[in-house]
């Protein structure tokens, strides 16, 4: 999933957030800002270091669109990299999602939508017309998010509520958090499952998911609870007899560096 970012003037995004966006969306990256009545657009970087060196001295000076692409439609050329500049270089746009539109050649869905829909709309209607905003958001659906910046440094975000404002900047998703967001999602999901289970069983305790990679060891007293009498009562401990041994796939040998325990068949 791509990561689209709008950063107002004066806001600086830390290097770690941008690196997280780059690490998970490596097909292209770029940024755009307004300067002297026109859009300046930079993309086609070969590494994060190159991207960071270009954007670092400019961050605090301008409102910006920043984008990290994970390709879904179209090739991975610079032409499909975001931001995409339209309307004779006066508007830049970035997109996160997949737009249902017929593309041409190697064009991405974003490039096609920008040229065939946004460009004529911006040429005809006022920049922040409420009716235009409603029509665009309705046509792309809530899953898609688009941010646009004009040559005056003004911005508009379509489906803004579907993204997140964090420390003064707008992000189309939580990709800026990197792997931490997966732990948060897993933790929330686990807590919800436990909560639903407890509610359905009348249990009043509240469980919190704390850390995804910590597991409790089996206590010795739990092992001691399995008495010899309980073992003798078991009719099948998984040890095959001579007749069933022919049905086993494992032949008692292993190429593993630590050989498995040899099977002993009852006769």
**Candidate from 113-122, 152-161, 246-255 with smallest mean pLDDT:** 246-255
- What are the structural domain ranges in the chain? 3-178, 181-235
> By the 8 A CB rule, do 96 and 114 touch?
no
Can you list the alpha helix ranges (DSSP code H) found in 10-83?
Answer: 15-24, 48-55
- Stated pTM of the model: 0.67
Minimum mean pLDDT range among 79-88, 115-124, 257-266: 257-266
For a pLDDT cut of 90, what percent of the chain falls above it?
53
Does residue 122 surpass a pLDDT of 60?
A: yes
Can you give the pLDDT at residue 42?
95
Which helix (DSSP H) or strand (DSSP E) does residue 159 occupy? none
Mean pLDDT of 181-186: 50
Average pLDDT, the chain: 78
User: Does the pLDDT at position 59 exceed 80?
Assistant: yes
Decide if pLDDT at 71 tops 60: yes
Residue-wise pLDDT for 188-216, tens only, equals: 555 566 566 566 655 444 444 444 443 34
CA distance 261 to 2: 49
pLDDT at position 216: 40
3-178: CATH, from 3.60.20.10, 3.40.50.150, 3.40.50.10300, 1.10.443.10: 3.60.20.10
Instruction: State how far the Cα of 238 lies from the Cα of 18, in Å rounded to an integer.
Output: 54
pLDDT of residue 147: 97
Average pLDDT estimate for 135-156: 95
Check residue 182 and give its pLDDT: 47
223-245 pLDDT, tens digit each: 455 445 454 554 444 444 444 44
Q: Is the pLDDT of residue 75 over 80?
A: no
The closest of 116, 123, 150, 126 to 34, measured between CA atoms, is 150
Q: Is the pLDDT of residue 45 over 50?
A: yes
Nearest to 64 by CA among 189, 154, 162, 160: 154
The tens digit of pLDDT for each residue in 102-113 reads 888 889 999 999
Identify which of 6, 40, 5 has the alpha carbon closest to the alpha carbon of residue 22: 5
Point out which residues pair with 6 in neighbouring strands: 65, 170
Predicted pLDDT at 207: 42
pLDDT, position 62: 95
Would you state the pLDDT for residue 235? 45
Confidence of residue 46 (pLDDT cuts 50, 70, 90): confident
Quick one: pLDDT at residue 73? 75
CB within 8 Å of 84: residues ≥ 6 apart: 92, 93, 94, 95, 110, 111, 114
So what's the pLDDT on residue 197? 59
């Amino acid at each position: 999933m791509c990561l689209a970012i709008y950063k107002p003037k004066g806001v600086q995004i830390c290097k770690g957030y941008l690196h997280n966006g780059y690490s998970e969306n490596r097909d292209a990256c770029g940024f755009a800002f307004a300067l002297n009545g026109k859009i300046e657009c930079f993309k086609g970087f070969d590494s994060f270091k190159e991207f960071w060196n270009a954007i670092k001295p400019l961050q605090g000076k301008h409102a910006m669109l920043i984008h990290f692409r994970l390709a879904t439609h179209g090739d991975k050329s610079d032409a499909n990299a975001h931001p995409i500049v339209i309307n004779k270089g006066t508007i830049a746009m970035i997109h996160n999602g997949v737009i249902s539109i017929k593309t041409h050649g190697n064009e991405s869905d974003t490039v096609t939508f920008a040229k065939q829909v946004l460009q004529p709309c911006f040429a005809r209607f006022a920049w922040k017309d409420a009716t235009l905003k409603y029509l665009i958001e309705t046509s792309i659906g809530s899953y898609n998010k688009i941010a646009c910046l004009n040559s005056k440094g003004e911005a508009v975000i379509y489906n803004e509520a579907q993204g997140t404002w964090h420390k003064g900047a707008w992000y189309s998703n939580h990709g800026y958090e990197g792997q931490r967001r997966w732990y948060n999602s897993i933790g929330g999901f686990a807590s919800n499952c436990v909560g639903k289970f407890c509610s359905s069983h009348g249990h009043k305790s509240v469980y919190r998911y704390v850390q995804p990679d910590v597991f409790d060891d089996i206590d010795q007293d739990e092992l001691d609870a399995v008495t010899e009498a309980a073992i003798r009562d078991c009719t099948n401990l998984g040890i095959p007899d001579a007749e069933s041994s022919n049905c086993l796939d494992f032949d008692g040998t292993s190429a593993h560096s630590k050989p498995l325990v040899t099977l002993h068949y009852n006769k």
